[in-house]
């Protein structure tokens, strides 16, 4: 289904909660929408990401990427989907190059809380595998941490070869590239606070492992009604922008509770 005909159905094994949350992955249907940001990313020596709703593209498995990219309203064919998945997987090649960047990812706990589907179990396994890669660090920001500087959206801070920094913020339907040094400094500080508030890397991997085991045993999984309630709350939270301590505002709203 293409054009304005609505969201495409997900591939088999992908959870329909991604359809309910499609605005949060809307950009994924437009690989060229943030082309300048992607160009910066290809040259960055350090990439710091906070993800509120989906695993960042650089750490996605192919089935997970296919599920996310299937949500877009502009897909016209399976061939187009396959091409976008291939591009997504191709970007990950840089993490295996000699000049690979340092990647630091903070995941909101909501990213991990997906129902028992093979696609999510494989994705959690991929996140666990990052523990063996000294160039990749994953932390989890738990629900009980409460409100924080980056609410309802995502944030990426890139460090370039000349030590300059670029920031990118993203909400439900749009993204914004920030290049002004003073503004970027505020986002860099906000990201530093997120890292401090998140679980340490080893504890984060333990939490991911625990979620994976729960999924395998079918325990602690939200009901369909609870999932839809959570999706609706997250959709309502996508409006509004805030950054404590001044500076340009970044996505705001109240955090979902488990």
Q: Both tokens of residue 55?
A: 């695993």
Looking at the domain assignment, is residue 175 inside a domain? yes
Residue 139 has phi, psi (to 5 degrees) of -125, 155
Looking at the domain assignment, is residue 138 inside a domain? yes
CATH number at residue 247: 3.30.870
Looking at the domain assignment, is residue 73 inside a domain? no
pTM above 0.75, yes or no: no
* Best CA proximity match to 123, nearest among 29, 211, 231, 217: 211
Residues paired with residue 221 on neighbouring β-strands, in sequence order: none
Matching residue, tokens 């993203």: 170
Looking at the domain assignment, is residue 86 inside a domain? no
Mean residue pLDDT of the chain comes to 76
Looking at the domain assignment, is residue 122 inside a domain? yes
Gap between the Cα atoms of 246 and 149, Å rounded: 11
Q: How many domains does the chain have?
A: 1
Looking at the domain assignment, is residue 11 inside a domain? no
Could you give the maximum distance between any two Cα atoms of the chain, in Å? 50
Q: Is 14 exposed, middle or buried (0-12, 13-18, 19+ CB in 10 A)?
A: buried
Looking at the domain assignment, is residue 76 inside a domain? no
- The interaxial angle of helices 118-129 and 62-69, nearest 10 deg, is 120
β 165-170/175-178 pair status: antiparallel
pLDDT, tens digit, for every residue of 160-219?
999 999 999 987 666 789 999 999 999 999 999 999 999 999 999 999 999 988 877 654
Q: Both tokens of residue 177?
A: 């590239």
pLDDT, tens digit, for every residue of 42-87?
999 999 999 988 899 999 999 999 888 887 555 667 888 888 899 8
Looking at the domain assignment, is residue 22 inside a domain? no
122 lies in which domain range? 42-58+100-251
């Amino acid at each position: 289904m293409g054009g304005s005909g609505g969201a495409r159905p997900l591939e088999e094994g992908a959870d329909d909660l991604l359809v309910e949350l499609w605005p949060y992955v809307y950009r994924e249907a437009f690989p060229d929408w943030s082309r300048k940001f992607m160009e910066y990313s290809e040259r960055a020596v350090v990439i710091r990401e906070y993800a509120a709703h989906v695993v960042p593209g650089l750490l996605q498995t192919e089935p997970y990427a296919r599920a996310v990219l299937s949500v877009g309203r502009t897909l016209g064919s399976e061939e187009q989907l396959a091409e976008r998945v291939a591009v997504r997987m191709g970007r990950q090649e840089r993490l295996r190059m000699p000049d690979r960047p340092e990647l630091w990812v903070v995941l909101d706990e909501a990213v991990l809380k997906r129902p028992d589907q093979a696609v999510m179990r494989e994705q959690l396994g991929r996140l666990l595998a990052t523990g063996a890669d000294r160039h990749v660090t994953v932390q989890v920001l738990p629900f009980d941490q409460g409100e924080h500087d980056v609410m309802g959206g995502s944030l990426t801070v890139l460090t370039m070869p000349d030590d300059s920094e670029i920031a990118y913020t993203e909400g439900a339907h749009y993204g914004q590239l920030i290049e002004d040094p003073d503004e970027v400094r505020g986002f860099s500080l906000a990201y530093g606070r997120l890292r401090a508030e998140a679980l340490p890397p080893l504890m984060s991997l333990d939490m991911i492992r625990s979620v994976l085991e729960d999924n395998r045993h079918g325990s602690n999984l939200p009901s369909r009604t609870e999932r839809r309630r959570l999706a609706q709350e997250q959709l309502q939270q996508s409006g509004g922008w805030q950054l404590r301590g001044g500076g340009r505002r970044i996505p705001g709203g109240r955090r979902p509770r488990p």
